[in-house]
Amino acid sequence: MDLYKLRADTPGTKNVIHFNNAGASLMPAPVYKAVTKYLRDEYMFGGYETADKYNNELSEFYSNAAMLIHAKTDEIAFMENATSAWDAVFYSIPFRKGDRILTSNIEYASNFIAFLQMKKRVGVIVNIIESLPTGEIDPAALETELKKENVKLVSITHMPTNGGIVNPAEEVGKLAEKYNAIYLLDACQSAGQYPLDVNKIRCQFLTVTGRKYLRGPRGTGFLYVNQQQLKTLEPFTLDLHSAEWKQKESYEIRNDAKRFEKWEAGLAGKYGLSVAIQYLLDLGIESVWVRVQYLAKIMRNTLQSIPGIEVLDRGKIKSGIVTFRSGRISAEKIKKRLREKAINTSVAVRCHTLIDMEERQIDTALRASIHYYNTEEEIEIFSKTLMSLLK
């Protein structure tokens, strides 16, 4: 990786040490340029006319997203965020009373709240599969539950918002397929740092956001829908883009993943996300993952050597999401003080991953999430600053 070029492409690195990539990464220049150029054209020539002008670029979004996860172009829908993508699928599944949803203890709050709402509405049963001592979902425990009746959905988070765990998405996929369960994977934190291949994961649905590890603009994301599901799953909501009004009493739903989209969208953002994915494809996701793990390891080792700091991450393999706490100063306070020194981190709060945080008795943790464009030097400055704050 040409780090010099990558950082020159990321002017934000001159202003801040950015360890909030799990919140929103710094965009690279080509993304910023694409979005502002598109917006300027809307400003100068009109929104619909600009969409016509950028027709090819906007179509490329689908092939770029498909290439990133080894899907087919018609299996991709552009969405405004990962939650909209996830909800579009989840609320379309025809759950009945007694249907079981299998999930893990690191599930993201928005997903779990939807499970609870479906429980209240129709009486689904939510089972949290046991995890291994290292924190990942236990495949043997998952198989035991899959063998029982009425499993409708396996829905897990690949990488949680609050730590380094990487759930074994492929093993889960093999099991879900073996027992004929629908498999929905929340890849919100993994897309952009980890190589995703839907053929290996064998999920029917996968949800992604643009602003995190993909380095796209805010308000963007995408949904992957396996071709088989496109034939069977009817979206819970439709409009004149997802379906065509054929006659007074009839309509026809389109047969690609765009059936989950709405007609109106932030097209500057869509173009920006496409450019962000292209940027990543050019860089190579395999080398991104190697570098993220390398830097995160240095970060964890450095933190571990600071007296009074407890690194909280578990996981056989660990992602770029590093979490820790101080016994003396609150995470919120440390975050604020670091921000004053132009170091960006964030705070993982209990209610965003409630089950896991309660099990580990953690109320808040400081999150320093690494991306490939970060450096060893930044980690050193960060740790020195942290040590001076703790004095």
Task: Name which of 256 and 356 has its Cβ closer to ligand PLP.
Answer: 356
Rounded to the nearest 10 degrees, the angle between the axes of helix 285-304 and helix 376-390 is 30
For the chain, how many residues are written?
391
Residue closer to ligand PLP by CB (options 209, 323) is 209
103 binds ligand PLP (CB under 6 A): no
Whichever of 82 and 295 has its CB closer to ligand PLP, that residue is: 82
Q: How many residues bind ligand PLP (CB under 6 A)?
A: 13
Q: Residues 221 to 240: which contact ligand PLP by CB under 6 A?
A: 221
**Angle, CA 224 vertex, CA 141 and CA 97 arms, to 5°:** 50
Of the candidate residues 64, 131, 209, 374, the single one contacting ligand PLP (CB under 6 A): 209
Q: Is residue 108 involved in binding ligand PLP (CB under 6 A)?
A: yes
**Least Å distance between CB 156 and ligand PLP?**
10
Question: For 36, how many CA atoms within 13 A lie in the half-sphere containing its CB?
Answer: 7
Binding mask 323-362 for ligand PLP (x = CB under 6 A): ----------------------------------------
Minimum CB separation of residue 106 from ligand PLP in Å reads 8
Q: How far is the C-alpha of 141 from the C-alpha of 130, rounded, in Å?
A: 6
Q: What are the counts of helices (DSSP H) followed by strands (DSSP E) for the chain? A: 15, 15
The CB-of-188 to ligand PLP minimum distance in angstroms stands at: 4
220 part of the interface to ligand PLP, by CB under 6 A: no
The C-alpha atoms of residue 348 and residue 351 are separated, in whole angstroms, by 9
Q: What is the DSSP letter of 97?
A: T
54 vs 213, beta carbon nearer ligand PLP: 213
Q: Which of 20, 92, 189, 226 binds ligand PLP (CB under 6 A)?
A: 189
Cβ proximity to ligand PLP: between 22 and 267 the closer is 22
Q: How far is the CB of 185 from ligand PLP (least distance, A)?
A: 10
Beta bridge partners of 137: 131
For 185, the enclosing helix (H) or strand (E) is strand 182-186
Closer residue to ligand PLP (CB): 159 or 285: 159
Structure tokens at 300: 């964890």
CA angle centred on 121, ends 118 and 125, rounded to 5°: 50
Task: Determine if 83 is a binding residue for ligand PLP (CB under 6 A).
Answer: yes
The minimum distance between CB 77 and ligand PLP, in angstroms, equals 14
349, HSE (Cβ side, Cα atoms, 13 Å): 6
Separation in Å, CA 310 to CA 23, 302, 307, 351, 356: 21, 11, 8, 20, 17
Give bridge partners of residue 18 from the DSSP assignment.
344
82 binds ligand PLP (CB under 6 A): yes
Q: Site mask, ligand PLP, residues 147-186, x = CB under 6 A?
A: ----------x--xx------------------------x
Beta carbon of residue 82, minimum distance to ligand PLP (angstroms, whole number) = 3
Rounded to an integer, what distance in angstroms lies between the CA atom of residue 161 and that of residue 158?
10
Q: For tokens 């996929």, what's the residue?
A: 173
Q: One-letter amino acid identity for 160? A: P
Whole-number minimum distance, CB 64 to ligand PLP, in Å? Answer: 18
Q: What residue ranges bind ligand PLP (CB under 6 A)? A: 81-83, 108, 110, 157, 160-161, 186, 188-189, 209, 221
